[in-house]
Amino acid sequence: MKTGISTLVLTMAWALLSNPVGAQAPAALSGKSIRVVVPQTTGGASDALARVMAQEIGKRWNAPVVVENRAGAGGVIGSDLVAKSAPDGSTWLMSYSGTHSINPALYKSMPFDTLKDLAPIGSLATLPFVLVISPKLPVNNLGEFIAYAKANPGRINLASSGNGSVAHLLAEMLASAAGVKITHIPYKGVAPALTDVIGGQVQGIFASAPSIMGHVKSGAVRALAASATKRAPALAEVPTFGEAGYPALAIDSWFAFFVPSGTPAALREQIHTEINKVLQDKEVAARFAGQGADPMITTLDAFNRIVVSDMDKWGKAVRDSGAKID
């Protein structure tokens, strides 16, 4: 469908069998469907994690949950849709640190204020962005990759899902930290970029763990290092950039749900409590782990501080890179 809507309608019979004892939607949401807006295309980390949570929330609340992909303008279109939706708790934004923290610095103007118009209802997970390269490149690890880049200035092209994306900024940060010249090649999404990495048209890309997991396991791409503070169990053989000697790239990327800031605080807390219960489920944790993700359970106040801190950090990365959209 053109809107990219996938409705997870859970029947009463199935819900009665699988709904956890005592689990129910907040009273304000009783009888309502939940709309989860993903401001990226299907197949990426945001989409994958949103669908896991949509299924579990729908199961717990015996309610239909709709996952709607509204990609465009680096996440601005989908985020704006949610920011301007009714503040009744029924429309959620699936955001991540890239969209949320980078866009305010990347765009001269946006149709909404990220901090003032959107409020978190729950952090979900952290997961790494992994530098993967074409097997056609004659290197086997990050040290060899840096040495090759230094010996072949201007020969390394790194793709990204777009100008100013996490992938773009991580490539710029690596080039700066390692003292090498890397050419950035922006694509309209991670899928076509990965296709060209696999084919050898570009040498590599920073991509989220769910995007590259299957390609790494099949040998279609070679994983060199992960931007994270610790190794992902699903990619246990891939070192972090910190381990490889580049602590500036030891960054955890978070994923979280947001709602319009006018949503009553009490309702936001109720939803947050339910989200945290889902994240504590062992089966959910296992499904996250299969995507290279680690559940992120925080209080809303603590997560708000992380959001503000990351906006400062990524804002500096944008300014240092010189990336601009408008």
Q: Measured between alpha carbons, how far is residue 310 from residues 23, 55, 220, 224 in Å?
A: 33, 29, 33, 25
What average pLDDT does this structure show over 7-23? 43
Work out the number of other CB atoms within 10 angstroms of the CB of residue 282. 7
Three-class SS string for 1-25?
A: CCCCEEEECCCHHHHHHHCCCCCCC
- Check residue 287 and report its DSSP letter: H
Give the containing element (helix H, strand E) for 206: strand 204-208
Q: How confident is the model at residue 222 (pLDDT cuts 50, 70, 90)?
A: very high
Mean per-residue pLDDT of the chain? 89
pLDDT at site 84 = 98
Q: Is it the case that residue 173 has pLDDT exceeding 70?
A: yes
CATH code assigned to 129-249: 3.40.190.10
Beta bridge partners of 131: 206, 225
- The CA distance from 36 to 270, in Å, is 17
What average pLDDT does this structure show over 42-54? 90
CB 108 within 8 A of CB 73: no
CATH code assigned to 5-126+254-321: 3.40.190.150
- Which residues make Cβ contacts (< 8 Å) with residue 22, sequence separation at least 6? none
108 compared with 145, residue with greater pLDDT = 145
- The pair phi, psi for residue 210, each rounded to 5°, is -60, -30
Structural domain boundaries of the chain? 5-126+254-321, 129-249
Three-class SS string for 19-87?
A: CCCCCCCCHHHCCCCEEEEECCCCCCHHHHHHHHHHHHHHHHHCCCEEEEECCCHHHHHHHHHHHCCCC
pLDDT at site 200 = 95
Sheet with strand 129-133: strands edge to edge: 183-186, 157-160, 204-208, 129-133, 222-227
Q: Is it the case that residue 263 has pLDDT exceeding 60?
A: yes
- The CA distance from 225 to 142, in Å, is 7
Angle at 121 between CA 120 and CA 125, to 5 degrees: 85
- The CA distance from 239 to 224, in Å, is 7
How far the first Cα of the chain sits from its last, in Å, is 30
- The CA distance from 92 to 79, in Å, is 9
How much of the chain exceeds pLDDT 70, in percent? 92
Q: Is it the case that residue 19 has pLDDT exceeding 70?
A: no
Q: Are 5-126+254-321 and 129-249 the same fold in CATH?
A: yes
Q: How confident is the model at residue 320 (pLDDT cuts 50, 70, 90)?
A: confident
Q: Is it the case that residue 5 has pLDDT exceeding 60?
A: no
Q: Is it the case that residue 267 has pLDDT exceeding 50?
A: yes
Q: How confident is the model at residue 24 (pLDDT cuts 50, 70, 90)?
A: confident
Beta bridge partners of 160: 186
Q: Is it the case that residue 44 has pLDDT exceeding 90?
A: no
What average pLDDT does this structure show over 55-70? 95
What average pLDDT does this structure show over 280-294? 92
Q: How confident is the model at residue 73 (pLDDT cuts 50, 70, 90)?
A: confident
Q: What is the pLDDT of residues 78-92, one digit of tens each?
A: 999 999 999 999 999
pLDDT at site 17 = 43
- The CA distance from 130 to 225, in Å, is 6
Instruction: Please tell me whether residue 155 adopts helix, strand or coil conformation.
Output: coil
